[in-house]
Amino acid sequence: MTVSKLLVANRGEIAARILRTARAQGLGTAVLRHGAEQTGPAHLIADEIVEIEGPTPVAAYLETAQIVAAAQRIGANAVHPGYGFLAENAALVRALDAAGITFVGPTAEVIDLMGDKVRARAFVEDRGFPVAPSAIEDDDPATFVERARTVGYPLLIKPSAGGGGKGMRIVRGDAALVPEIETARREGQRYFGDGRLFVERYIERPRHIEVQVMGDGRGHVVHFWERECSIQRRFQKIIEETPSPALNPEQRLEICETAADIARAVNYRGAGTVEFIYAPDGAFYFLEMNTRLQVEHPVTEMVTGRDLVADQLRIAAGEPFDVAQGDVRQDGHSIELRICAEDPADDFRPAIGPILLLDEPRGEGVRVDSGLLEGSAVTTDFDPMLAKVIVHGRDRAEAIARARGAVRDYVLLGVKTNADYLDAILAHPGFTAGEVSTGFLAEEAEALRERPDAARNNVLIAATALSDSRLVAEVESVPAIYRKMGAWRN
């Protein structure tokens, strides 16, 4: 099957990133847009914009029938879901299959299996892959609390259908167990429409290691090495890097081959990520599999030289995926910073407002995947992540230096962002030494706390303003009424 026209069923930076590759491959392209949405880079790249409707923009992007109808209406014979929204929705895949439209991703059956944390965990454990001690509510709901206690504290409660850290609760003592189970159940129901839970032993000071895999759906799977994703706030990643500073070559190979074997076991098709909890003693345990492209995929592209979206599109079209594992190399080091509209000094409260000035970093080893245009506004309609700053260096020290330079050069006036907070993390001795865990940000909260410096801020604002040629030209221009007077003397 040949993909001739691709509909990107997403928005923002990921839609723009997918569209660039699709256009480079000569495909016709289209992207969705809700009426309340402002123009972004994706709308300027796509050949066609398809309007969608809904009571809220998010609701529109989640309406399977409308997206299938949109693809049919414009003659798109493939749909790329990006990440988020319907990226891991098996119902969308089945509806597209029924309409004769190719889904750029795995089969509905694999999404169903790996998207259910309980079923995925059982599948992986049954095949001899490492999982942490756990208790599953579905096995016997009446004894769930007691079985959870026998796993031992600390515990991590998770919704079975969860993702993105939502609904997860850490329990360190018996008194909190039942209340936290009820809270997690309510959150699972609210976020995912599914209140089923499971618990697993919480590994103290764990690292979050994930492995990028790619399969052709015919048994051939390769990995593109690992990513370290331990810098998280409330289970949400904000800095990712590769290679992981925690792994030696033997550990790296073991964890990556384990991920590839798990993907082979489900006959995986397309891009996916197998995630692990990595303990201080070097043990690692299966966490989950994300059956989609990840937000942090650019760091893998930076060190391997591969375009993962191009690979996805070729596999979806049925073309041979002839990449051999031995041909996949890691070259240098890459770090990604998620630029979010939020105030770290105010408990990461989301920020909104107009984008008065946008000046993104550029230069050797710097890439920016952005969903922003100057003159638009940040609203509460969507996730607060605005852009990703990705850097590459010959080694980790150079990558950190480039990341600090790039995030300092990221200028956005009108909306509060976490740019200074990201710079503070990069400068922290613990981060530079690679001695981090998923609890690093909470443990170092005081050291990372932003301390207002009015004088410094005034200097930065003045320097930013004076560096903008448009503003300087406006300030130095002669008002029209005076120009009409011509030359004169007093």
Give per-residue pLDDT as tens, 133-186: 889 888 888 999 999 999 999 999 988 876 667 788 999 999 999 999 999 999
Closest CA to 78 of 52, 65, 96: 96
State pTM to two decimals. Answer: 0.87
Residues 165, 217, single domain; the answer is no
Quote the pLDDT of residue 452: 60
> Are residues 144 and 254 in contact, defined by beta-carbon separation less than 8 angstroms?
no
Identity of the residue numbered 359? D
> Are residues 343 and 396 in contact, defined by beta-carbon separation less than 8 angstroms?
no
| Residues paired with residue 412 on neighbouring β-strands, in sequence order | 358
Give per-residue pLDDT as tens, 289-336: 999 999 999 999 999 999 999 999 999 999 999 999 999 999 999 999
What is the band of 250 on the pLDDT scale with cuts at 50, 70, 90?
very high
**Does residue 381 have a pLDDT over 70?**
yes
What is the band of 234 on the pLDDT scale with cuts at 50, 70, 90?
confident
**H or E segment to which residue 58 belongs:** helix 57-61
* Last residue within a domain, chosen from 201, 228, 253: 201
Residues 340, 319, single domain; the answer is yes
Integer CA distances (angstroms), 18 to 212, 266, 455, in order = 17, 26, 42
Residues 81, 155, single domain; the answer is no
Residues 6+ apart with CB under 8 A from 478: none
Task: Report if residue 116 sits inside a domain.
Answer: no
**Residue 189 belongs to a domain with what CATH number?**
3.30.1490.20
In percent, how much of the chain has pLDDT > 90?
81
What is the band of 366 on the pLDDT scale with cuts at 50, 70, 90?
very high
* Count of domains forming the chain: 3
User: The tokens 């049919």 sit on which residue?
Assistant: 72
Identity of the residue numbered 310? A
Task: Report if residue 118 sits inside a domain.
Answer: no
- Distance CA(411)–CA(339), nearest Å, equals 11
Residues 250, 284, single domain; the answer is yes
**Does residue 251 have a pLDDT over 70?**
yes
> Are residues 354 and 374 in contact, defined by beta-carbon separation less than 8 angstroms?
no
Q: What is the DSSP string of 455-469?
A: HHHHHHHHHHHHT-H
- Distance CA(184)–CA(196), nearest Å, equals 9
Backbone angles phi, psi at 29, to 5 degrees: -135, 150
In the chain, the N- to C-terminal Cα span, in Å, equals 79
**Does residue 455 have a pLDDT over 70?**
no
Residues 293, 190, single domain; the answer is no
* Last residue within a domain, chosen from 201, 225, 259: 201
Q: What is the DSSP string of 201-220?
A: EPPSS-EEEEEEEEEESSS-
Residues 84, 148, single domain; the answer is no
Give per-residue pLDDT as tens, 7-62: 999 999 999 999 999 999 999 999 999 999 999 999 999 999 999 999 999 999 99
> Are residues 53 and 34 in contact, defined by beta-carbon separation less than 8 angstroms?
yes
Least confident of 48-52, 191-195, 238-242: 191-195
Range of the domain at 183: 133-201
Give per-residue pLDDT as tens, 58-117: 999 999 999 999 999 999 999 999 999 999 999 999 999 999 999 999 999 999 999 988
**Does residue 273 have a pLDDT over 70?**
yes
Quote the pLDDT of residue 192: 84
